[in-house]
A and B are shown apart, each in its own frame.
Chain A
Amino acid sequence: MSNAIQTAGSVAPSHEGPRAWLRRFVSGDEVAHIVTLLFASTILAITGLLVLQLWTNSRLSRVQSGWHFFFMQTWDPVFEHFGALPFLYGTVVTTVVALVISVPLGLGAAIYLAELAPRKISDVLAFLVDLLAAVPSVIYGLLGIFLVIPLMREVIEPFLKRTMGFLPIFQGPAYGIGLLTGGLVLAIMIVPFIVSISREVLLVVPREQREAAMSLGATRWEATWHVVVPYARGGIFGSIFLAMARALGETMAVTMVIGNDPRIAASLFSPGYTIAAVIANEFSEATYPLYINALVELGLVLFLLTFVLNGLARLLILATEQRGVAHS
């Protein structure tokens, strides 16, 4: 906490005296600062408490398997072997698939809604898209079984096999169940987050930005893609972060369509398993302490994975921004 106040204090010029601080305090600025700081700190506190809970409740498993937990491929509750690797793999792959599908789709829809559609229609559509976020994930799962799996097995997977079957990721028997289907269902679930926030952010980009670009002879698309979108970059990335995190933690819908098989295979057609799914599947029936601890440790691993992926994504953004600066 002391660290926090110190950091916060460093916003003010360091040479000012206590008197200036008091003046700002009386005017309310410093009060507002401290109040909002306290609320922001509760987020750190909750996250910290959560990690602490995960840490203490996974002690048995951590002591028993140590670092092997990350590299073991076996998950066997009967003979008490617990390894996280296949779940890590499945989580990363489905999330990447989901982002590859949902980012272009969501961004495209957001651009259409913000730049092309009349405002009234855009509002109604955006609101409908928000509703998608309210569909309980068990319903997404049921729809996945009854609609998406047959579609994947009969149409999409044979098509991918025919056209891109030379790639190892599109080989093997097509059951319609597997990593690709899991990623697709996830993509549908996270699109609303990307569309909703990106659209709002695009809408608040000042009109002059577009008009200036177009008066210089840019086409509408060029004005949008080279001026408006970069202007709204921060918010768009923010929405993608939200979507990615959501994809990492989603359970019910994914587990209905992914095949739930803790094995590592190169093909996207093969069944897989995600961390969140195995926790949701096995937690309520886990019977002995080591088993429960191993599941909690998986929760901890997911947390670490989110941590790392978020860090990588941020670095990527930083790098593109640096390049953008060098460019101009």
Chain B
Amino acid sequence: MSVRLVWRKAVNAVMLGLTGVCALITVGVLGVILGYLAWHGGRDINWNFFTKLPAPVGEAGGGMANAIVGSAKLLVVASLFGIPIGLLSGVYLAEFGGRWYSFFVRYATDLLNGVPSIVIGIFAYAVVVVPRHQFSTLAGGFALGIMMIPIAVRSAEEFLRAVPSSLREAAMALGASRWRTVATVVIPAALQGIIGGIMLDLARVAGETAPLLFTAFNNLYWSPGWNQPTASLPVLIYTYAISPYDDWHRQAWAAGLVLLALVLAANIITRLMLSRRGAARGA
């Protein structure tokens, strides 16, 4: 056994150990954050939280039902706008793209991802709110939708590319046209990864405050339809967190916990539906 081999084995052990430490740190950070949230907000979560409107400071029994529904509506609009653009652009980049045009699209995507969320908010304000003289769920969803595009594009492209070319070639050899191959073989093969990317994407925009202030505005009551100002969890968390009252601070922590729980729920539901579909397909 040469010195070199011992050295290589040592490097192997150390580096693998280090990756474990990295994973531990990353997950540990989450543990700290969740623990902190649960510690500060857990006591304040009760049934009212999900059924009642916010109460003014000092009154017991308030909830944030309108903000929860508002956030859900905003995310629906954002998904309807952002996911198709992101996904199909990803398909374009991975399957059809010409060299230069793809380069521009990728570059633009990265630029879009670096625009501070407040600037996206100002942009959505200028192109949606000002012409209509109306803050609305649609305007807020539009802003969040723009923010969703970059990650959706990136994850779609990466996972489509990662599909082994043998799979593609097999389908083409059977006489399928290119788009059929993509639609029936490549996309299903990459779907798991893409959905993962989109869940990450939704999680990211679900917690954004700045793009909503000037677009979705706020609502102390229920927001009817899609064309009225609406409350949302991040805006509520923000206004409560910067308020001077202890009462509201605790509600802000609790709302943070609820937001995480909702993202978690959305994530689990999607994955369950996906695996059920996958099982049905396999049968």
Interface readout for B94-131 with A: 1 if CB under 8 Å, 0 if not?
Answer: 01111011001101111111111111101100110000
| Contacting residues, chain A, for B126 (C-beta < 8 A) | 53, 57
Contact B20 A116 (CB under 8 A): yes
A108 CB within 8 Å of chain B: yes
- C-alpha spacing A251/B115, complex, angstroms: 11
The answer to whether B22 and A112 have CB atoms under 8 Å apart is yes
A306 & B12 in contact (Cβ 8 Å cutoff): no
The answer to whether B110 and A28 have CB atoms under 8 Å apart is no
- From B55-63, B223-231, B255-263, give the one contacting chain A: B255-263
Question: Does B234 belong to the interface (CB within 8 Å)?
Answer: yes
A243 CB → nearest B CB, Å:
9
Does the CB pair B22–A43 fall under 8 Å?
Answer: no
Q: B200 — which chain A residues lie within 8 A by C-beta?
A: 130, 133, 192-193, 196-197
Using CB atoms, name the residue of chain A closest to B166.
A206
Chain B interface size, under 10 / 10 to 19 / 20 to 34 / 35 or more = 35 or more
Interface of B is mostly: helix
Nearest CB of chain A from residue B37's CB, rounded to whole Å: 7
| Cβ–Cβ contact B30 & A128, under 8 A | yes
**Are A36 and B95 in contact, CB atoms less than 8 angstroms apart?**
yes
B203 touches A131 (CB 8 A): yes
Q: In the complex, which residues 154-206 of chain B have their Cβ closer than 8 Å to any Cβ of chain A?
A: 154-155, 157-159, 161-164, 177-180, 182-183, 193, 196-197, 199-200, 203-204, 206
Question: Could you say which of B105, B119, B149, B213 contacts A279, with CB atoms under 8 Å apart?
Answer: B119
Pick the residue among A35, A104, A201, A235 that contacts B88 (CB under 8 A). A35
The 3 tightest CB contacts between A and B, nearest first, are A108-B22, A245-B114, A36-B92
Interface residues of A (CB under 8 A from B): 4, 7-8, 10-11, 24, 27-29, 31-33, 35-37, 39-44, 46-47, 49-50, 53-54, 57, 104-109, 111-113, 115-117, 125-140, 142-143, 147, 188, 191-193, 195-197, 200-201, 203-206, 219-222, 225, 234-235, 238-239, 241-242, 244-246, 248-252, 275-276, 279-280, 283-284, 296, 299, 302-303, 306-307, 310
